[in-house]
Structure 1
């Protein structure tokens, strides 16, 4: 009969050796070398780009009232059809004409209650609003287009926002300015401390634009009563700002 003792002995010895190897390689037994983490510096820079607008976005609203919804809608359709035809005659492309809002609403009258008697509100007519958003790429025609639209029946709206067709190229100019300012600020600070900039670890940006304020709606309503060859306009400049935040490691 063959004895199993030698085999068991080999298993015990092997297990002991494995345990010793694991203990020798564990963090509790091995020497650890920790490198110091590099210092960092975070700096922000703001870039600004000013450019004259090359496009205007306006809203033109036709409002019509009548005793019935059908009559109000017919009157509104007639006026808006003329406005659309006039915009196309001015060279406005189809892609630059878009209906912004449309509504049909009843006009209610709420009688005063007398002698404790509750009187039900009554519908005395209907109002139809149709708003057209127009992008005008030839700013020299803006005043004349506004004037002609009022003559054709536009009696609300007129909000004017001056903007730029290619805003990204303008923001790129502001972005590069922001990065240059951030780097210059960081180099000035590290130079004073006797250290240098290392690798970049993080970059972020925030962009916004500050176009001129749009015209008030009330002004457009008042224009209907004025006669003029064209509405005077001042486009001014649009301002685009980009803020860039950059974090560098420091080399000492």
Structure 2
């Protein structure tokens, strides 16, 4: 048993020593002549998605009665909105619903208050504003503009192509400036964002008659979609 143990220990020592001696032969990759770059491409586009939120509040001594009043107001508005709903043109959905106790000076509950919300959203501005104008059980709470998914995808593609071309141009210029003939791409990342400029209370003159019953006149602003390409290139 003693002889066997010594042989095993000797083999382990030899293996460790062999690994230690082999380490100096490992060739490490030294990064040289690498440039970090970034470039952006921006495209301005008309906002094509309108969102109108309508809401109402109720107050009373009985929680059940307040909840019933809110439900009736919302159901009536939903029935009117659904008649004009069209996929993509005007989508209808319920928003926030709340019911909370109201406290008196003595810290005890002396009533209840609640609110409910309905959202009309889509690309058909006239349909949405006209429908909102017909709803009597809810009032205007918020108006917002954005880009539809289809519009955003299209514009992001254009901005991305522009950003990539600018990145490639910068990479070629930098490589040339340092005396290199070309470059290869090492790594790259792409990010995008958009910044809008909504004008919810402006209205185009030609739309006045069609929107006369609307609770608010609207005209979309523009969004600027920006795509940034950043990464590193190997100059050679």
Whether TM exceeds 0.5 here: the answer is yes
Among 217, 229, 236, the alignment partner of 1:244 is: 229
1:124 has 2:110 as partner? yes
Q: 1:155 to 1:106 in 2, by over 3 A?
A: farther
| Residue 93 of structure 1: how far off its partner (Å) | 4.4
1:154 corresponding residue in structure 2: 138
8 Å contact kept, 1:200–1:248? yes
Measure, in 2, the Cα distance between the counterparts of 1:240 and 1:170: 7
8 Å contact kept, 2:200–2:218? no
Measure, in 2, the Cα distance between the counterparts of 1:232 and 1:35: 64
Gaps of at least 5 residues in structure 1 are 1-21, 111-119, 217-227
CA-based RMSD? 3.1
1:102 corresponding residue in structure 2: 97
Measure, in 2, the Cα distance between the counterparts of 1:206 and 1:35: 29
| Residue 46 of structure 1: how far off its partner (Å) | 0.8
| Residue 141 of structure 1: how far off its partner (Å) | 2.5
Structure 2 residue matching 1:121: 3-state secondary structure: coil
| Residue 66 of structure 1: how far off its partner (Å) | 2.1
Structure 1 residue matching 2:117: 3-state secondary structure: strand
Which of the pair has more CA radius of gyration? 1
| Residue 105 of structure 1: how far off its partner (Å) | 0.9
1:144 corresponding residue in structure 2: 130
Q: 1:207 to 1:100 in 2, by over 3 A?
A: same
1:12 corresponding residue in structure 2: none
TM-score, with structure 2 as normaliser: 0.74
Measure, in 1, the Cα distance between the counterparts of 2:29 and 2:78: 72
Gaps of at least 5 residues in structure 2 are 1-17, 202-211
Q: Spell out, residue by residue over 1:140-198, the C-alpha distance to the aligned partner (whole angstroms, 9 max, x if none).
A: 3233233233xx22136223233223122221111111111111122222223321332
| Residue 215 of structure 1: how far off its partner (Å) | 5.8
Aligned residues: 206
1:175 corresponding residue in structure 2: 160
8 Å contact kept, 1:63–1:155? no
1:186 corresponding residue in structure 2: 171
| Residue 34 of structure 1: how far off its partner (Å) | 8.3
Q: 1:41 to 1:196 in 2, by over 3 A?
A: farther
